[in-house]
Amino acid sequence: MHRRRAISHSLPQWPGGFRANSYSYLLDSKLLSRHGLICFCTISLLLYITLFHSFNRCDGSRQKNPSPKRRWQSYSTDTTDTGVTTTEQLKGTDSATHGFSLTLVIRMAAVPKLVQRLYCIFLRSCTLFWSPKLGPVSLILDKESETDHQFARKLRQQEKDLGLKFDFLYEPLPDIASGWTKHPGYQRQLWSSFFMDLFINASIIGVTDSDAVFTTPVTPENIFNGHRLRVLASTNTKLMHARRGWYKPTLLAIGKGMVADFMTYFPSYVWRDTITNCRNHIMKHMNVSNFEDAFRNLPNLSPVNVIMNYAYYFEHDRYDWHLDFTETLEDFNAHLPPGVSINASEMEPDVHVTIHESYYKKRPYPLLQGYCIAKRYVGTLPASCLKFDNVTNFQLFEFQTGRLRREHLSPGTWCSGNGRRECIRLIEAHYQNVKKYHKLGWYDLDLRRMTAVEKAARQENITCPNIFQLD
């Protein structure tokens, strides 16, 4: 309980910037601190490093822009920066994604730490495992930041070498930001999460983070079940109901108690209009005429939890739910709001396609293991991959390790006990799909793509840690 104060004190008041999704760990750490003072220093340090150290911006103060109340058209992107796309890309997208357009979305700013992560963590894996046939990568940047625009121009020039298609979108600093005296970058990130629909045209938004590593080639089956979007959750009931956790603000925002913790997987695929509907619902529920008034009254918010819990209650059948927890179904349901219960059909295991690198410390490094195992299914194993000859890729059931663990291998969860065999079956089935799309030319698993990312990073004076000892 002293922690919050301690964090605020240790916080440099950066002029802006943020780290997407870091806020999820504030809660975990808070709860942990109750278990003793020993954790206190470690966690404060951890929080400082993860949550705020990376926020540092070098480009000084920001100008203010109107908040995004208007339709997205009024925020059209730099014409020089877009323009190139659409018909060709959409054709590929349509057939691969049931006729819907899809894009991966990262909300970031071009601060050194995030640019480093984008190249070395996200892009290196994306270029191997994300097929442009599924859709482009959209970066939502800060409109008022010249650094962000410059960064986008450079990345645009590298599209061809990296084999990826980028869309750059610029979000103005909202009016409400003038009231953000504490952690403005963090607040902006939270705020932005409720307005992605204003910047993205695609009907499906795959929300991800610059420090998410793809661990396997992504197939349409990882995204869709029929016309429904797959949702994974890994819920720690104690954390969900923690006093200063997300339960209360979620309840305040949508008028419904949380069913599960959805801040546990990437990408989080969400129908674009779910975000619109959720925002409108919040305003109606809170009886306010603009979102600023709602947002001001929702401290310690987890946007993905608000949006996906909204989806669970109000758009249930547009999504394919895969909820995991350590309790029995009966015990889990006993903690849900009266009249709400999940059933066995919503508990079926499903594979992850990323781990969250800043919170995943196990080795082998998942990109290395993911590459070697994928190669095994689509051709001959390179000599440097021989130790993966007989490895089952259980990293597909992990997301984070350590104290902030989110995974499906521990006692009571999907792959424990008798569940292990079903998880192995799902991993195998996934790689059979990978094989199929590899044959269709969706991925080539050519490490020269990674080398191209590393080269582009070096032009930004970024040296990515070595992953592969190439043959």
Ligand X SMILES: *[C@@H]1O[C@H](CO)[C@@H](O)[C@H](O)[C@H]1NC(C)=O
Contact residues for ligand X (CB under 6 A)?
Answer: 77, 82, 85, 167, 201, 287, 343, 345, 386-387, 389-390, 460-461
Q: Round to whole Å and give the CA distance between 216 and 234.
A: 20
Question: Is the CB of 461 or the CB of 466 nearer to ligand X?
Answer: 461
Closer CB to ligand X, 277 or 333, in the complex: 333
Cis-peptide, bond into residue 12, ω within 30° of zero: no
Q: Which is nearer to ligand X, 432 or 463 (CB)?
A: 463
Tokens linked to 60 = 């000084």
**Among residues 82 and 203, whose Cβ is nearest to ligand X?**
82
Q: Measured between alpha carbons, how far is 165 from 233 in angstroms, rounded to an integer?
A: 29
Separation CA 107–CA 20 (nearest Å):
7
What is the smallest separation between the CB atom of 340 and ligand X, expressed in angstroms? Answer: 11
Closest by CA position to 299, among listed 372, 245, 220: 245
- Please, which residue, 380 or 461, has the CB nearer to ligand X? 461
Query: Minimum Å distance from CB 51 to ligand X?
Result: 25
Q: How far is the CB of 461 from ligand X (least distance, A)?
A: 4
Q: For residue 234, list its beta bridge partners.
A: 324
Residues with Cβ < 8 Å from 76, sequence gap 6 or more?
Answer: none
With DSSP H G I counted as helix, E B as strand and the rest as coil, what are the percentages for the chain, rounded to 5? 50, 10, 40
Total Cβ atoms within 10 A of residue 74: 11
* Least spacing, CB of residue 47 vs ligand X, in Å: 29
Closest to ligand X by CB, 389 vs 446, is 389
Q: What is the rounded distance in angstroms from the CA atom of residue 37 to the CA atom of residue 305?
A: 29
Which of residues 63 and 343 has its CB atom nearest to ligand X in the complex?
Answer: 343
User: Considering all CA atoms of the chain, what is the largest pairwise distance in Å, rounded to the nearest integer?
Assistant: 63
Both tokens of 435, joined, read 């094989």
Q: How far is the CB of 323 from ligand X (least distance, A)?
A: 11
Nearer to ligand X, 9 or 71 (CB): 71
Q: Which is nearer to ligand X, 46 or 118 (CB)?
A: 118
Output phi, psi for 66, to 5 deg. -60, 150
Contact (CB, 8 A) for 34 and 2: no
| Distance in Å, CB of 73 to ligand X, minimum | 7
Give the bridge partners for 212, in sequence order.
Answer: 356
Closest separation between CB of residue 343 and ligand X, Å?
Answer: 4
User: Minimum Å distance from CB 24 to ligand X?
Assistant: 27
Q: How far apart are CA 86 and CA 189, in angstroms?
A: 28
As measured in angstroms, the least distance from the Cβ of 345 to ligand X is 4
343 exposure class (CB count in 10 Å sphere: 0-12, 13-18, 19+): exposed
Q: How far is CA 121 from CA 86, 126, 156, 394, in A?
A: 27, 9, 18, 20
Closest contact distance (angstroms) between CB of 86 and ligand X is: 6
Residue written as token pair 């918010």: 301
User: Is the Cβ of residue 112 or residue 419 nearer to ligand X in the bound state?
Assistant: 112
Kindly report whether the peptide bond that precedes residue 267 is cis, defined as omega within 30 degrees of 0.
yes
